[in-house]
Amino acid sequence: MKKLAVLIAFYLFIAGSKNLVAQTAQRPRFKAIAIAEIGGGHAKFDVAAKVWLTKLAADSNFTIDYISDTKQINKDFLKQYQLFIQLDYPPYPWEKDAQDAFEDYIENGRGGWVGFHHPTLLGVFDGYPMWQWYSGFMGGIEFKLHIPGGTDAKLTVEDRTHPAMKGIAPTFITKDEWYIYNKSPRPNVRVIASIDETTYNPAKDVKMGDHPVIWTNEHVKAKNIYIAMGHFPELFDDINFTTLIRNSIFWAAK
């Protein structure tokens, strides 16, 4: 009887261990929330991004939810998520509770942040005042101009040691409706990559000189990365761009 009891206990232990392993394997690595506007000039990029991100989440065992405005964002809402992805959502039409919750999330490292294109659309727009904290988060800049229709430019990786740059070519040609600011954010952020405005093709007169396009703000606790590209859905055909997104997500979510 004693041998039988030991044998039963052993099998129960094995069964329980297998169940624990199965549960652990199924548990998502992290939860992400992504925000994007509905419609507008960036709709095609956002649709392509959602398809690509949903597949990445399924393949890489994390979950991703999508919202189209900031009405439900507060501190309790953000507690669910280890990563905040901002897909072409501007920094001005946010409710006050959402602003406060986001500032707390970033300042205190409650999770990571990856932003594309629109987060630097900073200024007074549609009757909304400048969100001064957000301007500081983006390097103390203000949006001035952009290049309608976009243009190709040579992007140069300045900081090849950053985890977001792993496996990415040192230079490559990419296209976007590049944003022009009142000044370069370089003094206030860690620049990861910039574009050479002399390589615009076709040539454009809309320039700012020193032109960072990928950077991180190391003055806050949250891991964060801003990526200026985010207008054209064709970006998802570029292995450098998709590698950049994948690297950025897994770095920021840790």
Total domains in the chain come to 1
Spatial CA neighbour of 206 closest among 121, 123, 147, 143: 147
User: For position 6, what pLDDT does the model report?
Assistant: 39
Q: What average pLDDT does the structure give for the chain?
A: 91
pLDDT digits (tens, 9 = 90+) for 139-168: 999 999 999 999 999 999 999 999 999 999
pLDDT digits (tens, 9 = 90+) for 2-53: 454 434 444 444 444 444 333 345 789 999 999 998 888 889 999 999 999 9
CATH of the domain at 245: 3.40.50.880
Tokens of 178: 């590049």
Long-range contacts of 4-12 (CB under 8 A, 24+ apart): none
Q: Mark 23-52 as b/e (b = at least 16 C-beta within 10 Å).
A: eeeeeeebbbbbbbbeeeebeebbebbeeb
Domain-embedded: residue 95 = yes
Domain-embedded: residue 233 = yes
87 alpha-carbon distance from chain centroid = 7
pTM here is 0.89
Tokens of 204: 């454009």
Domain-embedded: residue 200 = no
CB 102 within 8 A of CB 131: no
For the chain, the residue count is: 254
Domain-embedded: residue 11 = no
What pairing do the DSSP bridges indicate for beta strands 190-201 and 151-157? antiparallel
Per the structure, the complete domain to which residue 121 belongs is given by 30-144+179-193+209-252
| DSSP type of residue 209 | S
Three-state SS at 197? strand
Tokens of 22: 């199965």
CB 97 within 8 A of CB 73: yes
User: For position 41, what pLDDT does the model report?
Assistant: 82
Any bridge partners for residue 181, and if so which?
143
